Chain A
Amino acid sequence: MNRYPLWKNLLIGLVLLWGLLYTLPNFYGEVPAVQVSSAKATLKLDAAATTDRIAGALKAAGIDNTGIFSDANSVRARFKDTETQLRAKDVIEQAFNPDASDPSYVVALNLLSASPSWLTSIQALPMYLGLDLRGGVHFLLEVDMPGALVKRLDSTTGDLRTLMRDKSVRHAGITREGNTVVIRFRDAAQREAGRRAILDSTADLQLVERDDSADDLKLVATLTPQAQQTMRDFAIKQNITTLHNRINELGVAEPVIQQQGAERIVVQLPGVQDVAKAKDILGRTATLEVRMVDDTPGAIEQALAGSVPFGTELYTERGGSPLLVKKQVVLTGDRLTDAQPGFDGQTNEPAVHLTLDAAGARIFRDVTRENVGKRMAILLFEKGKGEVVTAPVIRSEIGGGRVQISGRMSTVEANDVALLLRAGSLAAPMEIIEERTVGPSLGAENIQKGFNSTLWGFLAIVVFMCAYYLLFGLVSSIALAANLLLLVALLSLLQATLTLPGIAAMALTLGMAIDANVLINERIREELRNGASPQAAIAAGYDRAWDTILDSNITTLIAGIALLVFGSGPVRGFAVVHCLGILTSMFSAILVSRMLINFIYGRRRKVDSLSIGQVWKPEGK
């Protein structure tokens, strides 16, 4: 009766083998590596070509690598020690970024798993360590949505003004009041005309009529809930894109930039110690500038000859031709609310549509009116170095804050320019609401401490179990080890972030998991005490304990799930491991230990006694 069918043994064996396979990468440790990724939004990394270039550069410098790997966004080369890694970084840096002041690639130091490539190819990766274990900076940023709304309404105010003028509707003033835009009219007919004009042009506004006195008629416009939602989604996506671009400047190997909730962004920068610089870069605004081009005949030749005229700067256009730009800034990226690729309404050429806020629109109208026929340049500043995104000719006065840049552009270029323009500005201001920095020494110490406490606790339990339950204790200990194996394998497979509370949860789960085996062993002893035969005692012990084990694990799981749902940060790290640990412990404590017991006792025809420690029987029984 104490035999498992073959398929069950095989299945358990397979699961354990799988556990071993996916736990393996954690034992190999990490080796130094150099990672190359794109530093610019417009530059897509070609993995194959980059791999060849890295290999070529290393070969030319006579540096050995232990493998070059690539994924969608980066190429990484492994080296045998830190010294080689540092030399290789310099070589690769030179090969990829010949102009150090204008790098196109991020070349960063990184650590890679040393596990053999066949493991990596089956997605067996080591556990992903949290910042408290590897060191680095964690920021939680909150996007100022009210601020974004105000910005949006300001630009709406400008739009409405233009609209009223275009449709020849007479109004007595348009102002933003709180979260609404109020348009004043003197008579009802004009108000009706205005209402119709607005409803025809946009679906984003809700209009309500309000009469304060007979000759003070008002139209109150608010953004519809859908429009507000779109605006929020846009603001957060835009800010994430901008953060990506900025963080590229830091040369971080594996930055994490994620949306959390409706209005928050998590930024994690492993290995970064210079918090001040990280904050500067995250918090910077207005990297976009609009300036006038100096088209004075002869000035450009003079500048190329080495004497740049006073008050101007020499830049290179994206096409490569030189451009002389005035130092005076007309507009900054703050004033830009949106940039989208599209097509020119008349010529159907690819174009980029820019939207400016109210103040920006006014400045832009004045500047364009005074400079018809001249060129203006839009510059994007990255790492303090400007690049001309585009330098169009002003054809006519542009009012209303809607600007179209077109001419000599392909669709792809229009997309790139729009992206670059957007990358230069944050849609809404952000504030750091949580910061956590962990030094590298503390991280290493945390791993050591977590590992030690798990190890010593585990050994103490094994010693006790073996002494108290003898062979059954040994089996229980093996089952506990299998539990740990499966838990680590599962965590590695899911690539869940392991933190110090996670390690604590691992230790605690092991301490709790032994409960199932204690229950079983006690039950078997009890059955023996009541006079059951050894084989029957094993069967009854496992069967009867099952109900109890299930009940108790489910109550623990309920607590774990509550933590998972409501926990954040360290608590979530704890909860993930705790919940997974409960699941793996049910498997190992019951199935794995039963399989071993079956192997030991189930095959024998006659079993006189079980090696489960002393079974004391009260007299009279």
Chain B
Amino acid sequence: MEFFRIKKDIPFMRHALVFNVISLLTFALAVFFLATRGLHLSVEFTGGTLVEVSYAEAPQLEPIRSALAGSGYPDAQVQNFGSARDLLIRLPNREDLDTSRVSETVMSTLQQAGGPAPELRRVEFVGPQVGKELAADGSMALLLVIVGIMIYLALRFEWRFAVSAIIANLHDVIIILGFFAFFQWEFSLPVLAAVLAVLGYSVNESVVVFDRVRETFKKKRAMSTPQVLDHAITSTISRTVITHGSTQVMVLSMLLFGGETLYYFALALTIGICFGIYSSVLVASPLVMWLGVSREQFIKPKKEKEEAVV
């Protein structure tokens, strides 16, 4: 079995402008949704209390809401979670609430609200300062990843590669966030982990292509820069599709079998993988070209390279 039977190098670079315009548009849309709708941050970031309960049979939501309002939580959000029998109750932090007692009060209110008794599945309470710290730590992690990867790529390849790989992949991150903003999916800590993992992972993709670019520059002297890039992308495309396909199969499995907790995590990865292929190949490579990559940059340090190989 072989999927890819490509006779000639595909002229990707001829359409470079089109690819970049497409990604610029999606990027602009993502930024627009992020700005207008904002992220639906989970309780971990905003602070507050989250109570998940399970009933033997589907409960009525209205009586529960009014019972909670009666116990002093008029701002409680009550919604079904997964199935009609599972409820998720969200309570924002308020200055005047004794936060350490919220979960007990909610449980006793639910028990008194009539109907079947609920089973407590999960409680999460996060104080306001913890939420802020998490958000700050998340941004720091993102920054560290960007700086770390740029330094590594600049040392290993060339600054042009580092810059274009990071631009291409940051644009993935923004697009994932844009999806979360548009659909108002819950942005939780595992999703943040997924976003950062995607960043590392799709830089991979650029690295594989760049490796080939470097190799081709050295081997095939007759080719022009766009031809070299076309050749590098064409000769790695089979691997690109198969690898991402395999990773996606795993992620799909999480999406299907992982339950609610892993659902958004897997969803973020799915978007990241799809856009990762596109951007790291079709956005990063033209950027490298426009930044002025040329054969000379790889030929000069040739002696050092040989030593490195030995």
Complex CA gap A500/B7 in Å reads 46
Verify if A203 is at the interface (C-beta below 8 Å from B): no
Other-chain residue from B189, B236, B261, B265 in contact with A446 (beta carbon distance below 8 A): B261
> Do the beta carbons of A552 and B104 come within 8 Å of each other?
no
Sampled A-B contacts (13; CB under 8 Å): A279-B100, A433-B126, A439-B122, A449-B257, A454-B253, A456-B253, A460-B253, A464-B245, A515-B243, A555-B153, A571-B189, A571-B190, A574-B197
The reply on B32 being an interface residue by CB < 8 A is no
Does A243 count as interface, using CB distance less than 8 angstroms?
no
CA of A551 to CA of B162, assembled, Å = 13
Which of A188-196, A337-345, A396-404, A506-514 makes up part of the contact surface?
Answer: A506-514
CA distance A25 to B172 in the complex (A): 41
What are the residues of chain B within 8 A of A435 when measuring CB–CB? Answer: 100, 103, 123-125
B249–A556 CB distance below 8 A: no
Q: Are A276's CB and B250's CB within 8 A?
A: no
Chain A proximity of B119: nearest CB distance (Å): 7
A354 CA to B125 CA, complexed, in Å: 38
A444-469, CB < 8 A from B:
445-446, 449-450, 452-454, 456-458, 460-461, 464-465, 467-468
Question: Which of B124, B125, B258 meets A449, CB within 8 Å?
Answer: B258
Please choose the segment from A166-174, A380-388, A612-620 that sits at the chain B interface, where 4 or more of its residues have CB less than 8 A away: A612-620
List CB contacts (< 8 Å) of A480-529 with chain B.
Answer: 500-501, 504-505, 507-508, 510-512, 514-515, 518-519, 522, 525-526
Complex Cα spacing A131 to B301, Å: 54
B247 touches A515 (CB 8 A): yes
Residues of A close to B99: CB separation below 8 A: 432
Contact segment of A1-9, A79-87, A562-570? A562-570
Q: Is the CB of A275 within 8 A of B104?
A: yes
Task: Tell me the complex Cα distance, A619–B8, Å.
Answer: 11
Of the candidates B6, B133, B141, the one having the most CB atoms from chain A within 10 angstroms of its own CB is B141
B113 is an interface residue with CB less than 8 A from chain A: no
The distance in angstroms between the C-alpha atoms of A578 and B257, with both chains bound, is 20
Check B87 for interface membership: any CB of A closer than 8 A. no
B292 within 8 A of A: no
CB within 8 Å of B: which residues of A? 132, 140, 142, 273, 275-276, 279, 283, 431-439, 441-442, 445-446, 449-450, 452-454, 456-458, 460-461, 464-465, 467-468, 500-501, 504-505, 507-508, 510-512, 514-515, 518-519, 522, 525-526, 547-548, 551-552, 554-563, 565-571, 574-575, 578, 613-616, 618-619
| Residues of A contacting B156 in the complex (Cβ-Cβ under 8 angstroms) | 551
CB of A555 within 8 A of CB of B204, answer yes
If the complex has contacts A446-B259, A555-B149, are A518 and B242 also in contact, measured as CB distance less than 8 A?
Answer: yes
Contact residues in B for A434 (Cβ distance below 8 Å): 125-127, 130
Specify the chain A residue showing the minimal Cβ separation from B235.
A526
Q: For residue B246, which residue of chain A has the nearest CB?
A: A514
B239 interface residue, CB < 8 Å from A? yes
Residues 121-154 of chain B: 1 if any A CB is under 8 Å from the residue's CB, otherwise 0?
1111111011001100110111011001100110
Whether the pair B262, A567 counts as a contact (CB closer than 8 A) is no
CB-nearest residue of chain A to B309: A547
The residues of A that contact B6 with a CB separation of less than 8 Å are 618
Contact with A along B207-250 (1 / 0, CB 8 A): 11001000000000000000000000001101100110111111
Residues on B facing A (Cβ under 8 Å): 1-2, 5-7, 44, 52, 54, 99-101, 103-104, 119-127, 129-130, 133-134, 137-138, 140-142, 144-145, 148-149, 152-153, 156, 189-190, 192-193, 196-197, 199-201, 203-204, 207-208, 211, 235-236, 238-239, 242-243, 245-254, 256-259, 261-262, 265-266, 269
Is the CB–CB distance between A559 and B196 below 8 Å?
Answer: yes
Given contacts A500-B262, A507-B250, A616 and B2 within 8 Å (CB-CB): yes
Closest to B108 in A: A276
Q: Is A511 a contact of B211 with CB atoms below 8 Å?
A: no
Are A468 and B242 interface neighbours, CB within 8 A? Answer: yes
**Cβ-defined contact, B196 with A563, below 8 A:** yes
CB distance from B29 to the nearest CB of A (A): 25
The reply to whether A570 and B193 form a contact with Cβ atoms under 8 Å apart is yes
Contact A433 B204 (CB under 8 A): no
CB distance from B225 to the nearest CB of A (A): 21
Can you name the residue of chain A whose Cβ is closest to the Cβ of B260? Answer: A449
Query: Distance in Å from the Cβ of A328 to the closest Cβ of chain B?
Result: 31
- CB contact between B123 and one of A437, A450, A465 (< 8 Å): that residue: A437
- Asked whether B256 lies within 8 Å of A559 as measured between CB atoms, the reply is no
Q: Chain B nearest CB: distance from A470 CB in Å?
A: 9
Closest to B104 in A: A276
Specify which chain A residues have a CB less than 8 angstroms from the CB of B266 in the assembled complex. Answer: 504
Contact between A504 and B123, CB atoms less than 8 A apart: no
Contact B254 A453 (CB under 8 A): yes
The interface residues of chain B lying within 8 Å CB-to-CB of A613 are 1-2
Contact A566 B137 (CB under 8 A): yes
Known: A461-B250, A515-B246, A551-B207. A618 touches B200 (CB 8 A): no
Check B211 against A468 for contact (C-beta < 8 Å).
no
| Chain A residue at minimum C-beta to C-beta distance from B50 | A436
Partner of A441, one of B121, B235, B238, B261: B121
Residues of A within 8 A of B199 (CB): 559
- Known contacts A559-B149, A568-B134: A445-B259 contact under CB 8 Å: yes
* Neighbour of B190 across the interface among A501, A514, A526, CB < 8 A: A501
Counting chain B CB atoms within 10 Å of each CB, the highest count among A142, A442, A505 belongs to A442
